[in-house]
Structure 1
Amino acid sequence: MPINIIIADDDALIRESLKIIFDLDERFHVVHVAHHGKEAYDICKKEAVDVALLDVRMPILNGVEATAKIVSETMVKVLILTTFDEDDYIKNAFLNGASGYLLKNNPPEQIKNAVLAVQGGNAVVQDVVMEKIKNPPNKNPKEDRLNALTTREKEVVVLIAKGLTNKEIAEKLFISEGTVKNTVSNVLSKLALKHRTQIAIYYLED
Structure 2
Amino acid sequence: MTIRVVVADDQELVRSGFAMILDAQEGIEVVAEAGDGAAAVAAVRELAPDVALLDIRMPVLDGIEACRTISAESSCRTVMLTTFDSDEYVYEALHAGASGFLLKDVRRDDLVHAVRVVAAGESLLAPSVARRLIEEYTAATARPAGGRALSAERLEVLTARERETLLHLGWGLSNAEIAAALTVSEHTVKSHVGNVLAKLGLRDRIQAVICAYETGLIEAGAVRESPRTLG
Distance 1:48 1:7 in 2: 13
Pairwise CA distance, 1:90: 1.0
TM-score by length of 2: 0.55
Distance 1:115 1:9 in 2: 16
Pairwise CA distance, 1:88: 2.1
* Residue in 1 that maps onto 2:105: 105
* Residue in 1 that maps onto 2:2: 2
Q: Say which SS state the counterpart of residue 29 (structure 1) adopts.
A: strand
Equivalent residue letter for 2:120: G
TM-score by length of 1: 0.62
Equivalent residue letter for 1:83: T
Asked whether the 8 Å contact 1:56–1:80 carries over to 2, the reply is yes
Which has the higher relative contact order, 1 or 2, with Cα contacts under 8 A spaced 6 or more apart?
2
* Residue in 2 that maps onto 1:46: 46
Pairwise CA distance, 1:108: 0.8
Asked whether the 8 Å contact 1:102–1:125 carries over to 2, the reply is no
Runs of 4+ in 1 over 3 A off after TM superposition: 129-132, 134-140
Pairwise CA distance, 1:130: 5.6
Change (3 A) 1:110 1:65: same
Equivalent residue letter for 1:38: A
Pairwise CA distance, 1:132: 7.4
Asked whether the 8 Å contact 1:49–1:76 carries over to 2, the reply is yes
* Residue in 2 that maps onto 1:192: none
- CA deviations 1:50-84 (Å, max 9, x no partner) are 00000100011111000000000011100112212
Distance 2:88 2:134 in 1: 14
Equivalences for residues 191-206 of structure 1 within 5 A:
none
State the number of aligned residues.
138
- CA deviations 1:100-131 (Å, max 9, x no partner) are 111122211111101111011101028xx869
Asked whether the 8 Å contact 2:50–2:75 carries over to 1, the reply is yes
- Work out the percentage of aligned pairs sharing the same amino acid: 37
Asked whether the 8 Å contact 2:53–2:80 carries over to 1, the reply is yes
- CA deviations 1:165-195 (Å, max 9, x no partner) are xxxxxxxxxxxxxxxxxxxxxxxxxxxxxxx
Unaligned runs of 5+ in 1: 141-206
Distance 1:23 1:121 in 2: 20
Of structures 1 and 2, the larger Rg is shown by: 1
* Residue in 2 that maps onto 1:60: 60
Pairwise CA distance, 1:86: 2.1
* C-alpha RMSD of the superposition: 2.2
Change (3 A) 1:124 1:80: same
